Amino acid sequence: MAKTAIVTGGSSGIGRALAVELLRLGVDVTIADIADAESTAGELGCAGARLDVTDAAAVADLVRGVKADRGRLDFMFNNAGIAVAGRTDELTLDHWNRMIDVNLRGVVHGVHAAYPIMVEQGFGYIVNTASLAGLIPAPLMLPYTTTKHAVVGLTLALRVEAAAHGVKVSAICPGFVDTPLLDHANPGLPQTEIGRLARTIGVRVQKRLYSPEAVARDVVHGMGRDRALIVVPTFARRAWSLVRLSPDLAIRVTRQATRRALP
């Protein structure tokens, strides 16, 4: 019986690349997204479902449905997310609440639905998409940074519990990746100058954007090694190392890099 996976946010970016890589490995993939899930699934030759990850009941229904239809759930990729960027004093509570609803509660809903099934099975792997912004002091996008730090914390704590049940848990922590996320910051929310410049700032900070396909390959490799945190690319690992070495120094370096990156 083929292994099965659900990938939320699977219509584009890292989610789509993950789906392609999993399909290449013979995994039975269901991609779920709030838009274009079925058309993308048709292109990739897998199952697709429209899903709003802020709807806990809908997430639970999808997870239970895949388990019932396929007889097992091997992988749950809680990948759906949005970007919010701007100076903190100009962001509204709508920015904060939307970010928490999608990037944090969306992950919580996926974990809440999939984890009990995996515990009952005695196997499974939950992969939560966080960010380098969940490991370092990332300014000018505090709602995003806050939720990604929360996802990292959730992942590490759950990993401790899950090991006793044969369930693995990891978080993906990529730096700047060449995805539509950089071009659509603050979706459906008041736009900011930083939001409009997200891609430009990313290129100035990291020099070269990482590809979603490279992230997907790194994720599969990291899962094979059961890494708690899959931090890519090299730039991200170096930034993370600096934070662990000296948080104060990392803050000073980040302040300087931010100033250089801004127009």
Strand 167-174 to 229-232 pairing: parallel
Other beta carbons within 10 Å of 191: 12
How far is 98 from 48, CA to CA, in rounded Å? 24
For residue 40, the model assigns a pLDDT of: 98
Asked if 15 contacts 7 with a C-beta cutoff of 8 angstroms, the reply is yes
- Cis peptide leading into residue 233 (ω within 30°): yes
Question: Backbone phi, then psi, for 187, in 5-degree steps?
Answer: -65, 125
Q: What is the CA radius of gyration of the chain?
A: 18
Residue type, 138: A
Enumerate the active-site residues: 144
How far is 140 from 142, CA to CA, in rounded Å? 6
Strand 124-129 to 167-174 pairing: parallel
For residue 174, the model assigns a pLDDT of: 98
**pLDDT by residue, tens only, the chain of 263 residues:** 899 999 999 999 999 999 999 999 999 999 999 999 999 999 999 999 999 999 999 999 999 999 999 999 999 999 999 999 999 999 999 999 999 999 999 999 999 999 999 999 999 999 999 999 999 999 999 999 999 999 999 999 999 999 999 999 999 999 999 999 999 999 999 999 999 999 999 999 999 999 999 999 999 999 999 999 999 999 999 999 999 999 999 999 999 999 999 98
At 101, list the tokens.
Answer: 């609803």
Domains and CATH numbers, the chain: 4-261 (3.40.50.720)
How far is 218 from 151, CA to CA, in rounded Å? 19
